[in-house]
Amino acid sequence: MNDGLEISLAALRANADALRALVAPTHAAFVVKGNAYGHGAPEVARAIESHARYLCVYTIDEALALRAAGIVAPLLILGPVPAASLRAALEHDCELPLWDERGYLHDLAAAARACGKTARVHVKINTGLNRFGIAAEECDALLDAVESVRNVEIVGVFSHLAAAEEIDSPYTQYQLARFTLARERVRARFPAAQQHIAASAAAMLWPQSRLDIARFGIALYGLWPSEQTQAAMRDSGLSLRPALSYRSQLVVTREIEAGEAIGYGCTFHAPRAMRIGVLPLGYADGIPRLLSNGGSFLVDGARCAILGRIAMNTTVLDLTHASAAGVGAAVTLIGCDGNEEISADDWARWAQTISYEIVTRLPSSLPRTFTEL
């Protein structure tokens, strides 16, 4: 067994099918930014591109990497694209966000003319997340500007919700109302513009937000946007399967006496004679240091607590419940072994964060094996 991640392509496709069915006849777009949330962007994109109205990325570099890997599905870049990269984006048939009717629009039009393309853009509306986008009241000025230049076509209008994981969310209602104002202005002049605001949680909890396209990120990978979302969908029939497992093996086992310390800072002292095992992975390998003295992994199917501080390259486990485990014993950091499971949500709870961060921060240097299981 080698250290690393195992990604189930079958799980990804099953999740994609389930999510498409949930929102039909709305189209499904799938978000593969952040190295496909740590799962491996080219392979994930290849597995589900036939299911997607769009594959969504954040940067031009992510888009170009997918094209270089042979991905032909429509690509929508969600983040800002530097002026110097606009021509490359257009030459590789990427659709772009637009929220600036001044210099950026003219740079985009010039790049489109230079390569003989029409830039296909999605107008980004700021409905209250207050990062990117224009206010609904600014739509007309932007639309006027687009109509005054050549080689730019509005094909979409979109926004993003701040609190869609909440079932009772006045702020989501406020944002949806703001978006309705903007999209109606866009559609009055560009009737074919596709409308999209829902990501995973909104597509599940706020059906009125699905519109023409729903953008699925975290749910594609078999993870729920929040505990509240999962609870609310319990009776919906929607089943998601985590696509990622993380496995390794013990490289050392040893006996220690009562009172002996483990790890940097001596934060753990053995309360009794103990048998411990050393895992050759640490925070350099994506294990949050906050799991120190709090998390647990599975050794030969038994839950074994993390002892002491997680180091850059090592983690120490209590083998009390895996007394037969020796060097080479299987360790499951994320995934199932027998009747036990450690999930990305477990890591997130121990590390006081969210599963999005856990999987996305798994280093690209970790080996990834892609299976059909």
- Residues forming the active site: 33, 264
Closest CA to 78 of 59, 55, 100, 99: 59
* DSSP H stretches of helix in the chain: 9-23, 33-37, 41-48, 60-68, 86-91, 103-114, 139-148, 170-189, 200-205, 227-232, 344-351, 355-360
Task: Dig out the tokens for 50 from the structure.
Answer: 């036939």
Inter-residue contact 173 to 128 (CB < 8 Å): no
Find the angle CA(358)-CA(363)-CA(364) to the nearest 5 degrees.
125
* Residue that has been written with the tokens 């053995």 in this structure: 270
Distance (Å, rounded) from C-alpha 144 to C-alpha 139?
9
179 CA to centre of own chain? 24
Length of the chain: 373
Angstrom CA distances, 61 to 144, 217, 356, stand at 30, 19, 21
Specify burial of residue 126 (Cβ count, 10 A radius: 0-12, 13-18, 19+): buried
Say if CB 222 and CB 230 are below 8 A apart.
no
Q: Bridge-partner residues for 334, per DSSP? A: 246
What distance in Å separates the CA atoms of residue 355 and residue 293, rounded to the nearest whole number?
A: 20
Distance CA 277, CA 254 (A): 7
Question: In which residue are the tokens 């729920």 written?
Answer: 224
Within 8 A by CB and 6+ apart from 167, the residues are 205, 228, 232
Q: Which of 196-207 are b and which e, b meaning 16 or more Cβ less than 10 Å from the residue's Cβ?
A: bbbbbbbbbbbe
Structure tokens at 183: 């999209």
Helix orientation angle between 41-48 and 60-68, rounded to the nearest 10 degrees = 70
